[in-house]
Chain A
Amino acid sequence: MLGFLDKSRTIAPAGYSRWLIPPAALCVHLCIGQAYAYSVFNIPLSKLIGIGAKAPGGAWDLHKLIAVPSAPDDWTLAQLGWIFSLGIFFLGVSAALLGRWVEEGGPRRAMFTAALCWAAGFLLSALGVYVHNIWLIYIGYGVIGGFGLGIGYISPVSTLIKWFPDRPGMATGMAIMGFGGGAFIASPLSVWLMGKFTTQTHVGVAETFIVMGLIYLCFMMIGAWLVKIPAPGWKPEGFVAPPAHPLITTNHVYVYQALKTPQFWLIWWVLCLNVTAGIGVLGQASAMSQEMFPGHITAIAASGLVGLMSLFNMGGRFAWASTSDFIGRKNTYFVFFALGTVLYAIVPTSGAIGSVPLFVICFLIIISMYGGGFSTVPAYLKDMFGTRYVGAIHGLLLTAWSMAGIFGPVLVNYIRAYNIAHGIPKAQAYNNTMYIMAVLLVIGFFCNFFIKAVNSRHHMTADEAEQMI
């Protein structure tokens, strides 16, 4: 059985269509993209005992947490918030630590492992809900599921790049678009399932976790079965290697050698700054739009804006990464940083003149470039470091995402709170933050500007590269 997972068993036979690889990758990314929709469980999880309303108590108390099976208190939103944070933290940890293991073992073993971790995370969380022990959910969804997230996220990257040497941006863009789109499926599915399992005396979260875990297991296993790597030396029919370009290498850099290059750290900052700018507004878009346009944007309209932004986040992942195949990776990031700087600087003006359409257009373009930053970076790494360890290097780079996940929301929330505490009206409380974001993007522009080709002393020799296949 385990031989099925061996890299040598995943080499595609002659005539295998490369267009089967994007759906294989999407089987994984659409499932793990559920993470973005985890918040739909927060309110139901906070009413497991009180059912219709939250049972009193539930303060953050270690003794209560350990003794929860018999505790009468429902969990607080602060306690529940840690589940998602742990999941994203272990996504970064596992992607960074296990990238080489993923790369050397091939995509099938990685997808299979990701499927087991992701499904096990849901099933253990269901047990945690059933016995009302939040530690089981922390370990289940947060730690084990987080490993599934990290391994699953990087598992198809290098395979897609090898199958689509003519369109690496488009290929990885499709998979990473799936991560953005996973929430679209998970959110209504979760609500529908909870509706089916909830009664007047019972909140159906545990059953929903079990069903979703099993659905995801099946989907991801189909992806693991479908995925194949191209035979050595395979090229798409009619493929002509593009003329040599100083910023596109034909050599390979070993995963840990990449850490010693300035290019890795410049791209790390490029990703971190681009994500910081986007993630800060993504999480606060609803509140920000209502506070900047009181009376014009209602809570319902704000939820519509959030939905529209998530569509642009997903669409941007595919559109920008595909565009990068034509205009180049470096130029694509120049567009993100230059256009992003202008748009962030315009946002306060849109509030001052009361122009909702201008505000919405700015945010939609900003969020499309946030998504585009994620999906274009694997191809940027491939251009710099070659294809051999691109998945593993991508895993290391995802630590930039973890950092941005802290920087972005902190910048937006704390500066807003500081401004309001100092008497600035709510409608103008975000202005400083927007200008700070614009400055961050200017810094990102210069980080991108300084990216040059990797020095040849970092390249693997032909023999080393051959041995690593």
Chain B
Amino acid sequence: MSNGLKLVLAWGLVGIPLAWGVIETAINAAKLFQ
């Protein structure tokens, strides 16, 4: 497996769940401004 593909997979593996969690938290945080 090439380094480039490994990098995409590795960062996707941690980045996608983290982005999902950040979005969920940001939606919750928006309540402060309602």
Min distance, Cβ B26 to any Cβ of chain A, angstroms: 7
- Stretch of A23-31, A143-151, A274-282, A320-328 contacting B (4+ beta carbons < 8 Å): A23-31
Known A27-B13, A184-B22, A311-B22; contact A17-B31, beta-carbon cutoff 8 A: no
Chain A contacts of B26 at CB under 8 A? 307, 311
Residue from the list B18, B29, B30 in contact with A185, Cβ < 8 A: B18
Min distance, Cβ B9 to any Cβ of chain A, angstroms: 9
Q: Does A303 contact B (CB under 8 A)?
A: yes
Q: Number of B residues contacting the other chain (C-beta, 8 Å)?
A: 23
Min distance, Cβ B33 to any Cβ of chain A, angstroms: 7
For A178, A219, A304, A305, which residue has the most chain B Cβ atoms within 10 angstroms? A304
Bound CA–CA A63/B3 (angstroms):
58
Within 8 A of B (CB), among A138-185: 178, 181, 183-185
Main secondary structure of the interface of B (DSSP, over half): helix
Q: Number of A residues contacting the other chain (C-beta, 8 Å)?
A: 32
Q: Do B21 and A188 touch across chains, with their CB atoms under 8 A apart? A: yes
Bound CA–CA A20/B21 (angstroms):
22
Bound CA–CA A27/B20 (angstroms):
15
Render A8-31 as a binary contact track against B, CB cut-off 8 A, 1 for contact. Answer: 000000011101100110110010
Within 8 A of B (CB), among A164-215: 178, 181, 183-188
Bound CA–CA A308/B27 (angstroms):
10
Q: Do A185 and B13 touch across chains, with their CB atoms under 8 A apart? A: no
Bound CA–CA A27/B18 (angstroms):
11
Q: Do A184 and B29 touch across chains, with their CB atoms under 8 A apart? A: no
Total A-B pairs, Cβ < 8 A: 80
Known A304-B30, A311-B29; contact A181-B13, beta-carbon cutoff 8 A: no
CB-nearest residue of chain B relative to A360? B32
Q: Do B33 and A304 touch across chains, with their CB atoms under 8 A apart? A: yes
Main secondary structure of the interface of A (DSSP, over half): helix
Render B8-34 as a binary contact track against A, CB cut-off 8 A, 1 for contact. Answer: 001101110110111011101111111
Known A30-B14, A301-B34, A304-B33; contact A181-B21, beta-carbon cutoff 8 A: yes
CB-nearest residue of chain B relative to A177? B18
Q: Do B18 and A30 touch across chains, with their CB atoms under 8 A apart? A: yes
Bound CA–CA A268/B22 (angstroms):
31
Within 8 A of B (CB), among A60-111: none
Q: Do A23 and B10 touch across chains, with their CB atoms under 8 A apart? A: yes
Q: Do B7 and A20 touch across chains, with their CB atoms under 8 A apart? A: yes
CB-nearest residue of chain A relative to B22? A184
Q: Does A226 contact B (CB under 8 A)?
A: yes
Known A15-B3, A304-B29, A308-B32; contact A188-B14, beta-carbon cutoff 8 A: no
Min distance, Cβ A115 to any Cβ of chain B, angstroms: 15
19 contacts between A and B (CB under 8 A): A15-B3, A17-B3, A17-B7, A20-B10, A30-B17, A181-B18, A185-B18, A187-B24, A226-B10, A304-B30, A304-B31, A304-B32, A307-B25, A307-B31, A307-B32, A308-B32, A310-B25, A311-B25, A311-B26
Interfacial residues, chain B to chain A (CB-CB below 8 A): 3, 6-7, 10-11, 13-15, 17-18, 20-22, 24-26, 28-34
List 3 A-B pairs, minimum CB-CB distance, nearest first.
A184-B21, A304-B32, A304-B31
